[in-house]
Amino acid sequence: MFIYRTVSNDNINITVNSNPSITLSNDTNVCQGSNVNLIAGTSSLNAVYHWSNGAMGSSINVSPYQTTQYNVTITSNGCSTSSSITVFINSVSEISLGNDIHICKGESVDLTTTTSDPAINYLWDNGSNLQIITVTPSNTTTYSLTVTDGACYSADNITVFVHDNPQAIITGDTDFCENSSTRLTAGGGIAYQWSNGQTSSSVEVNQAGRYFVTVFDVMGCSDTSSKNINIIPTPSANLLADHLQGCAPLEINLDFSSDCDTCSVLWQIGSHQFNNTSQLKYIFEQAGNYSINVQVSNTTECTNETSLSFHVFPNPIADFTSQSTSYSYFEPNVQLTNTSSIEPDEALMWFWDFGDDVSSNDKNPSHIYTQTGQYWVSLMAISNHGCVDSAIHPIEIVEPFRIYFPSAITPESSNLENRFFYPKGIGANTRFFSMMIYDRWGEVIFKTGEFPAGFSDLNQFGSGWNGRYENKGDFVQNGLYVYQVYVVDNMGIKHEYTGTVTVIR
């Protein structure tokens, strides 16, 4: 047996690539916070860059806070090369001007940084190169400071807020009257300090002098103001009266005086007021206790006052009564009843005048008149203080009442008086009279309300009956006729008469 073996040959080429070349910037120094551009390079084609901070590309821009090494790897044709570059941080000490500051207008403040490195150079934005500066801004201002060591720098700023000062004011009267006080009130702030030690916004002062107050606002800023306080003397007040008591109506004369010629004067009497007079006459019409007050005021309204008290005694009320105002001549005894009155605790005396030259001091007298006529009786009531009142009333003594009626008339008689029927008499009140004539059937054939004044009036007024129907037409027939008469006498007593009269023709 034969075994045949076939042999075949092939070739493979293996290319070994060189690692890519790499060029990289030198290590560098920068100031903290500055940017730096790092560049890597290679001669290889299709190179890919991988930086340690994750960036890709041939260059990167970095701003490290501290010294940092950056690595870069370049890959080309599957081969890689790595290298690194260090960025060194050069820094000056970090500065701080602190928190913003609040001041009141007109105040000064020192500004300074926290570093004290002697190699540091200082530059403020106002041109000062000192570490500490004193500023007095008139408005809110921001200040900046830059420090440098020649290569790197650090900076900070601070704002100085300027607050307006409050405006202190004091209100209230600067002049006050003697034995009085005045209230001063401060404003413009939230807290107060007075020169007398008080800390409220208002203070009551009763001494002359200058008073100061310092007011503070919410920022602690302050302002001070002052007032000069003066005490005005009180004017004097003197009041005199010619008398202090008497009977109503009581007239008094008053005189007021003061050491202030330019002061105003106000009189007060009950609800009545009188201005600017030194003398006054006044009448108290009613009994009672009264007071008169006078107030004197100067131009700054400082006042003084004085008063007087007066007692006005009551007058009695005089009056009296009698049983009647008319009395018959035959019964002329008049009894008088005294009804006078006066307030309690007052006594009375009496004086009567009966109008016929006769008088009495009795309380309830009686008196007999001897003549007819009208008499005016007066009563004077006198109190124990001499106050007087009077009353007067008429009393009439009248003739006795008598009336007569004729029994017959002759209407056609030649004697005129016999033709009429009318009554005659004395003591009658002619204003109250009525007469009616009836025939035998009860019919009124004549009536009148006029009292016959006399014979001569009969025709003129028809006061009497002439025997005719209603005093007109034909005469009535002969016979009896009834009369009815109503009359009031002078004493006010009513009388009624009924009778018959015969007509004879």
pLDDT tens-digit series, residues 243-258: 999 999 999 999 999 9
The residue ranking higher by pLDDT, 13 or 209, is 209
Q: Give the amino acid at 243.
A: H
Residues 432 and 491: their CA atoms lie apart, in Å, by 12
pLDDT of 1 higher than 80: no
Residues 367 and 354: their CA atoms lie apart, in Å, by 8
Query: Of 273, 280, 279, 282, which Cα lies nearest the Cα of 249?
Result: 282
CATH number for 320-398 (one of 3.40.50.970, 2.60.40.10, 3.40.50.620, 3.40.50.10090): it is: 2.60.40.10
| Segment of 70-84, 133-147, 397-411, 416-430 carrying the highest mean pLDDT | 133-147
**Could you report the per-residue pLDDT of 318-355, keeping only the tens digit for each?**
999 998 888 887 788 999 999 999 887 677 899 999 99
Spacing of C-alpha 168 from chain mean position: 31
**Which stretch of DSSP H or E encloses residue 85?**
strand 79-90
CATH number for 169-232 (one of 3.40.50.10440, 2.60.40.10, 1.10.8.60, 3.30.830.10): it is: 2.60.40.10
Cβ pair 133, 124 in contact under 8 A: yes
Q: Reply yes or no on domain 23-90 having CATH 3.30.70.260.
A: no
Q: What pLDDT, on the 0 to 100 scale, is given for residue 453?
A: 61
3-state class of 52 per DSSP?
Answer: coil
pLDDT of 457 higher than 50: no
Where do we find the tokens 């008339």? Answer: 409
**Could you report the per-residue pLDDT of 348-395, keeping only the tens digit for each?**
899 999 999 999 999 999 999 999 889 999 999 999 899 999 999 999
Which CATH superfamily is 238-313 part of? Answer: Immunoglobulins (2.60.40.10)
**Could you report the per-residue pLDDT of 16-29, keeping only the tens digit for each?**
677 888 888 788 88
Q: What pLDDT, on the 0 to 100 scale, is given for residue 8?
A: 64
Q: Classify domain 402-503 by CATH architecture.
A: Sandwich (2.60)
Residues 64 and 89: their CA atoms lie apart, in Å, by 8
Q: What pLDDT, on the 0 to 100 scale, is given for residue 142?
A: 95
- Average pLDDT of the residues of the chain: 88
Hey, what are 234's tokens?
């009180």
φ, ψ for residue 416 (rounded to 5)? -55, -40
Give the mean pLDDT of 396-411: 88
pLDDT of 43 higher than 80: no
Same fold, 23-90 and 169-232: yes
Domain ranges of the chain: 23-90, 101-163, 169-232, 238-313, 320-398, 402-503
Fold of domain 101-163: Immunoglobulin-like (2.60.40)
